[in-house]
A and B are shown apart, each in its own frame.
Chain A
């Protein structure tokens, strides 16, 4: 009796997981289509570049979270592995930030105007 009960519970859990996997698969497919459409919308002039950028990157983050949370079982394992994952994300973001001042900000308008060199010939 109890064995049958366990089997029924396990089957229900498996069915639930199968449903979750399939839902995530459909969601990932729809999100991919959304990012593609957002890119096309910029070309057609329906939305601005910045709006499209936010949509596309936002969709990518949501897709990555869905894959990690459901497919990679972080829903169950996050509490056991978060201390391995979180520092890497902090370091990754820091790595990009430390290069920003020299490479990105230096080119912004008005920050460092680039003047052509002054000619040294014919001054006398």
Chain B
């Protein structure tokens, strides 16, 4: 009699990987999704700007981004990725003294990255390149300057949308305060103060008559006495004149908020992406501090090679995110 015997297949529990590594990869894929959302939003908003318009997505120089500083920060993170992988390598070999040294260098490089980022953030605050602060409106360029590739109806639609935006008046109020602060500043340049005072004067609503202070007729923008009234400047016109003052007095770096079409969207994306990335760098630094302390008090051993590998995985992921943020924000 023939008997059939079925071999019961051998059951494997889990992946052929340490649990810690599986957990770290699962964590990293959630992080990939998080940063994909941020970067994806940036790409879509950037390419969602009108194709046939003189108003394009802000260029790096408009928002005071310096390319070589971004490249330097990229190099700093690449160096730190190399040192952290060497730390793990040294741990596998059991050379714990080298592990401590490499982790110390990685920690210093991470801190340097955050220091450079803080310097860049400070420049944004100095120039008031902040979400919700930037003027969005600018007058449509004179015919002939951008006459190819867009229709007047497109421009009118864009302009109508921007002028109806309540942030326009918020921008005018903010700039008025800034202009008055420069005028009142005893240490400010005389020509700068003169230009600011002229702009404040242009921004006022005027009617024909005699100026109470000077006793002379009220003058219009053309320098002639007013016969009727003069409407205040629109947010777009204010932005144009502020940009002109900033250009004329570039070396003095006056604290005036510029008008940059799509500038607020850019600033929101920039601070969201680089801010969350910096938070991740800070998180890595905290872990490196703990590992460094363990190394310094002699508590770090070859048994911690797995800890170093997982920390390295996290740190390399942070590096990869910056590898994409750098070209998207600073270059293309």
User: What residues of chain A have their CB less than 8 Å away from a CB belonging to chain B?
Assistant: 14, 17-18, 21-22, 24-25, 28-29, 32-33, 35-36, 38-40, 52-53, 56-57, 59-60, 63-64, 67-68, 71-73, 77, 80-81, 84-85, 88-89, 91-92, 95-96, 99-100, 103-104, 106-109, 113-116
Contact = CB atoms under 8 A, between A and B. Distances in A.
B157 A116 contact: yes
Interface of B: 15-17, 21-22, 25-26, 29, 32-33, 36-37, 40, 43-45, 47-52, 67-68, 71, 74-75, 78-79, 81-82, 85-86, 89, 92-93, 149-151, 153-154, 156-158, 160, 309, 312-313, 316-317, 319-320, 323-324, 326-327, 330-332
6 contacts: A14-B89, A32-B75, A35-B331, A60-B323, A113-B153, A115-B153
A41 B89 CA distance: 39
A34 B330 CA distance: 14
Nearest to A38: B331
Contacts of A99: 40, 44
A15 B192 CA distance: 63
A103 B320 CA distance: 27
B266 to A, nearest CB: 15
Contact of A109 (B51, B78, B158): B51
Contacts of A64: 320, 323-324
B232 to A, nearest CB: 24
A25 B78 contact: yes
A44 B85 CA distance: 38
Given A88-B29, A92-B40, 13 more contacts: A29-B75, A38-B331, A52-B331, A64-B323, A71-B81, A84-B25, A84-B29, A92-B32, A92-B36, A104-B44, A107-B48, A116-B156, A116-B160
A63 B36 CA distance: 17
A33 B326 CA distance: 12
A115 B152 CA distance: 9
Contacts of A100: 44
Give 7 nearest A-B pairs by CB, closest first. Answer: A92-B36, A114-B157, A103-B48, A25-B82, A39-B331, A96-B40, A28-B78
B25 A18 contact: no
Contacts of A77: 17, 21
A17 B89 CA distance: 8
A100 B45 CA distance: 10
A89 B332 CA distance: 22
B13 to A, nearest CB: 14
Contact of A72 (B47, B48, B52, B316): B316
